[in-house]
Amino acid sequence: MSSRTRARGMKAAGVHTVHIPRQRGRRAAQPFVIVVPERPSLTWEAARWVGRMLWRHRGGLAPTGLALLALAAAGVLHAMAPRTGLFLAALAAGPAVWVLLMQRRRPGTGSVLAWRIGLALLVTLAAGWCAAAAGFGPFAGPLGWMWLLIWGTAQTVWLIVRRTH
């Protein structure tokens, strides 16, 4: 590469400098320096825009992150130790026990009881899916559709509850 197009010294990210040597006949004249910024590609701009939107709305997308984490964890558990599904199946009864304990400590009626039962049902379904996915694989049979349904329900409820409070 010739010295005319090579950047000299430290180079800023995405900027190319081109040095044009002095013209003959002018001994005291400074050389021309042209700085040409490099434009990012359309793919890079789209990825940056998506990243900014995800970061800006990260609080509203918490169930999505948890659902993706559960999908990956179930896949890893299935690949490493499928018998962990039996242990997770026993833990799936936890939300029902929680509802019973909450009703004993702080009895709720009406909408409070409905929210408790709904939340316990959703968490029980998610824990049951995790147990089945760890045992049989995350996409075995209808488990992929179940994951999608549980994720969509959790995300919708999350967005509704966040708007009203």
Residue-level pLDDT at 13? 58
Residue-level pLDDT at 126? 92
* pTM greater than 0.95: no
Judged by DSSP in three states, 15 sits in strand
Tokens representing residue 164 in the block = 């009203």
Residue-level pLDDT at 32? 67
In which residue ranges of the chain is pLDDT below 70? 1-32, 165
Could you tell me if residue 14 is left (phi over 0), alpha (psi between -120 and 50 degrees) or otherwise beta?
Answer: left
Give the separation between CA 130 and CA 89, rounded to whole angstroms: 8
Residue-level pLDDT at 156? 93
